Chain A
Amino acid sequence: MLNICFVWCRILTNVRFLFVGVVMNDAVFRKLTLLGEGAKYDVSCSSSGTARVNMGNIGSASCAGICHSWTADGRCVSLLKVLLSNDCLYDCKYCVNRRSANVERCTFEPEELADLTIEFYKRNYIEGLFLSSAVFGSPDHTAEQMLRCLYILREVYGFYGYIHAKVIPGVSPELLSALGLVSDRLSVNIELPSEKSLDLLAPQKKPKAIFAPMRQITQTQTEQKTLKSAGNMARLRPEGLNVSIGDGSLDDARALMAKNFSNIGNEVRVQTTSLPDIRRKYKEKFAPAGQTTQMIVGASPESDMQIIKMSEALYRKFSMKRVYYSAYIPVTDAPELPSRLAPPPLKREHRLYQADWLLRFYGYTAGEIFTDDEPNLDYDLDPKVIWALRNLKYFPIEINRASEEELLRIPGIGNVSVYRIMRQRKIASVKYDDLKRMGVVLKRAKYFLTCSGKYFGNCGFDPVSIRAALAGPEGAQLSLFDVRNSQNELSL
């Protein structure tokens, strides 16, 4: 077993203490192109979850995170998201940088990337660094090189900005422990929601190598008492609503993990007693912004229900901050994968994110969002409306009496509106006209609430009538991608 001191010595002795900028040449442009291109399929973008003032030379972190730009696909650029190397040992079928792909290979020098990060940060282009990498040499060698880059940033430049580090599956617990101390957030990508798909598409990635680091991160945070659950999950107890909570307990999460992944490894115990100075410097704070993961949607045959149940298990078992969903973009022709001509399933990804929000911020369980007859999310209406139509017996809900948990179940009312309603109720009753000023989307909400006893819906109070009203021109939901319109055109 590697001694942690030894790891640090090896990394520290090799650091060149040079304060020169990147030597600008075509190679840097080339590397940034290839290694940025390779990193963009990792959709995690946030720089949130930790707040700190500048105790070093440069940099700070804002709890809500800061987006610095938006690309032409409408997604934000917050961190410099880049691979340290794209020279991968593995041959995962869905990946642009798989071993068998014919792409130019290159690797950043840790010093070079640290310099570039500082130069970008100084100009306020970015909020920090998101460092990922292909597996080159071995998982441990890769992690050491990443660690070296991050160490230069923290120690040589006194960088106090945000760092998100990707954990390479199979990395040794000692290196992960060191990585956690220089990073704000860690992530291990699960990529596919079942062992079967993982075996088929990423044969070299073993479930054990994915879950062991996840578990270690959760354990370390538990020991340090820094573990926070995702969103409002701990606060909003679905039991309060007196509805069937279905399978949402920690035991169920364990059972589901075991069902989808037969071998997820044993508990890990890590000695964190012998870290050098760096431990004191970061006040033993290990990944203060928690961990996230990502699942690819549409590369394997799992249903939405399987995906969301997996997410729920990850939230409950590991207290993940977030699970990201990435609509699969075909990068290769393989018989196991969708055709290269297939468009990415953006609408499906959108609906999955909505369901995910219901889990984290609205107190729903996966068992409520799906029924066995409907294992996939509705294309036309969002999952919250679908749940309400399926459970009309709880509605209409009276705005001036209902609990916070009940209010959150009304379609068209979100956390901000609930907060405002609860505040105004302390000193005055809430009138129907007030709701719009509070940010409630009345065109959806009006079918599901009463205000001081009066109901404002203008159709029969049954699922079919309300569904028709919601799908009509007045109630039609804002479509991000206009999927329905384009289908209509085709059928003409």
Chain B
Amino acid sequence: MNYLYDGSFEGFLTCVYEHYYTERADGIFPEGAYQLDMTVRAMSVLSDEVKVQKVSGAIVSKISKYDMERIYRVFRTNEPDKEMKLLRYIVLGFGVARSGRNGGSIRLLHGNQTVLDVQKAEQRIGFEVHRLCGLIRFSAVRVDHPSQFVATQSGSGNKGGVVESGMMVAHGGNEILYARIDPDNDVLEFLAEHFSDRYKRNPFIIHDTKRGKALVSFNREWFITDFSSGDLLVDTDSEQDYQRLWKLYHEIMATKERTNPKCQKNFMPVRYWKNLTELQTFNLG
């Protein structure tokens, strides 16, 4: 049986439930990405709160809380066929637990392909998060017409309640830090704590242009929301000067005698360059 779900984490956990209680899963696909396969039956699965609770409760008690978080992190990656890789990991954990041993011990099996798949995907998203902690570039911007600027809470956040967009704009005396990113994985919420702590007095927006959403934070609170109004933001007066200054600094810090572009690209893959201030071409005045 191929299971099709809505792409949410809850939907995926419901598929895990169906795998155990309805029929073995041959594949799990987000609905939009599914290519009709005549040889395997397919079924759409709707997220079901009770089934989600049952599966997540079983993972926490029979495998471990750590592995539940790990499964969530891997679910946020762009790993091909991540659903089946995770399902195999969960099945392995339940199997070990059924044999009377600690299900959480599966993460010690570094030589096992199923564990390796999950470990690698987790490493990749962890690495990208770490990388972006350094590679994100903010511009100091202001909002020309606050009334048109929409950033309301719709997704997850670290504080309950609805946050009005106007509050955020007013808070920083109109200066906001704004950054564009285009990451491989869905990393926004893993960046939230780091940046909202570091810039707790500076309101900021990190805009994931690939997924059309943004991390919005001010006053140490944050939330993730759909977002597309980056164009309404304009640079503050001195912004260009600091960008030129940074680009200049970046250039002079390279030692001519040691030039090694391969090494540079190894650490900083070219796909990140388009959002890096220091690698843009603009008039150095």
| Residues in chain A within 8 A of chain B (CB atoms) | 21, 24, 28-29, 32-33, 36-37, 40-41, 53-54, 57-60, 62, 64, 66-78, 80-81, 116, 119-120, 122-125, 127, 161, 327, 329, 343-344, 346, 420-421, 423-424, 426-428, 430-431, 433-435, 437-438, 480-481
Contact = CB atoms under 8 A, between A and B. Distances in A.
Sorted nearest first, the 8 A-B pairs with minimum C-beta distance are A434-B111, A74-B263, A71-B254, A420-B110, A74-B260, A73-B258, A72-B254, A68-B134
B245 interface: yes
A367 to B, nearest CB: 32
Given A59-B198, A124-B137, A73 B264 contact: yes
Contact of B108 (A21, A33, A344, A426): A426
Contacts of A77: 250, 253
A36 B245 contact: no
B168 to A, nearest CB: 17
Interface residues of B, number: 56
Contact of A424 (B110, B179, B255, B276): B110
A40 B253 contact: yes
A11 B115 CA distance: 58
A420 B116 CA distance: 11
Interface of B: 101, 105, 108-113, 116, 130, 133-140, 177, 179, 194, 197-202, 238, 241-242, 244-246, 248-264, 266-268, 276-278
A119 B249 CA distance: 14
Nearest to A436: B111
B116 A122 contact: no
B75 to A, nearest CB: 22
B41 to A, nearest CB: 34
11 contacts: A33-B248, A62-B194, A71-B253, A72-B259, A73-B260, A122-B199, A123-B137, A125-B246, A329-B257, A424-B109, A434-B111
A123 B242 contact: yes
B111 A69 contact: no
Contacts of A41: 255
B116 A74 contact: no
Given A33-B248, A57-B201, 9 more contacts: A21-B238, A32-B249, A66-B134, A73-B255, A73-B256, A74-B262, A122-B202, A123-B138, A426-B108
Contacts of B246: 120, 123, 125
Given A77-B250, A430-B111, A67 B267 contact: yes
B254 A123 contact: no
Contacts of B264: 70-74
Contacts of B248: 29, 32-33
Contacts of B139: 123
B109 A427 contact: yes
A184 to B, nearest CB: 15
A53 B197 contact: yes
A435 B112 CA distance: 10
A431 B140 contact: no
B238 A123 contact: no
Contact of B130 (A36, A58, A66, A343): A66
Nearest to B136: A124
B201 A69 contact: no
Contacts of A435: 111
B256 to A, nearest CB: 8
A29 B137 CA distance: 20
Contact of B111 (A119, A124, A344, A433): A433
A346 B277 CA distance: 29
A129 to B, nearest CB: 13
A227 to B, nearest CB: 28
B108 A74 contact: no
Nearest to A422: B108
A464 B12 CA distance: 56
Contact of B200 (A54, A69, A427): A54
Contacts, number: 164
Nearest to A421: B110
A104 to B, nearest CB: 14
Contacts of A421: 110
A430 B251 CA distance: 48
A29 B257 contact: no
Contact of B113 (A66, A69, A81, A437): A437
The CB with the most chain A CB atoms within 10 A, among B244, B256, B258, B261, is that of B258
A119 B256 CA distance: 27
B71 to A, nearest CB: 19
A424 B108 contact: yes
A57 B198 CA distance: 8
Contacts of A40: 252-253, 255
B245 A28 contact: yes
A433 B255 CA distance: 43
Contacts of B278: 69, 125
Nearest to A438: B110
Nearest to B258: A73
The CB with the most chain A CB atoms within 10 A, among B177, B201, B252, is that of B252
Nearest to A64: B130
B135 A122 contact: no
Contacts of A67: 134, 267
Nearest to B105: A427
Contact of B245 (A32, A59, A424): A32
A122 B263 contact: no
Given A58-B199, A437-B116, A69 B135 contact: yes
A68 B101 CA distance: 44
The CB with the most chain A CB atoms within 10 A, among B111, B200, B264, is that of B111
A74 B134 contact: no
Contacts of A36: 249, 252-253
B257 A343 contact: yes
Contact of A480 (B105, B109, B263): B263
Given A32-B245, A59-B198, A430-B111, A69 B276 contact: yes
B130 A37 contact: no
Contacts of B268: 69-70
A74 B198 contact: no
B271 to A, nearest CB: 14
Contacts of A327: 258
Contacts of A434: 110-112
Contacts of B245: 28-29, 32, 116
Nearest to A331: B257
A424 B111 CA distance: 8
Contacts of B199: 58, 122
Given A60-B197, A123-B177, A438 B111 contact: yes
A163 to B, nearest CB: 15
A40 B256 CA distance: 11
Contact of B253 (A62, A81, A123, A480): A81
Contacts of A329: 255, 257-258
A300 B113 CA distance: 51
The CB with the most chain B CB atoms within 10 A, among A73, A124, A438, A481, is that of A124
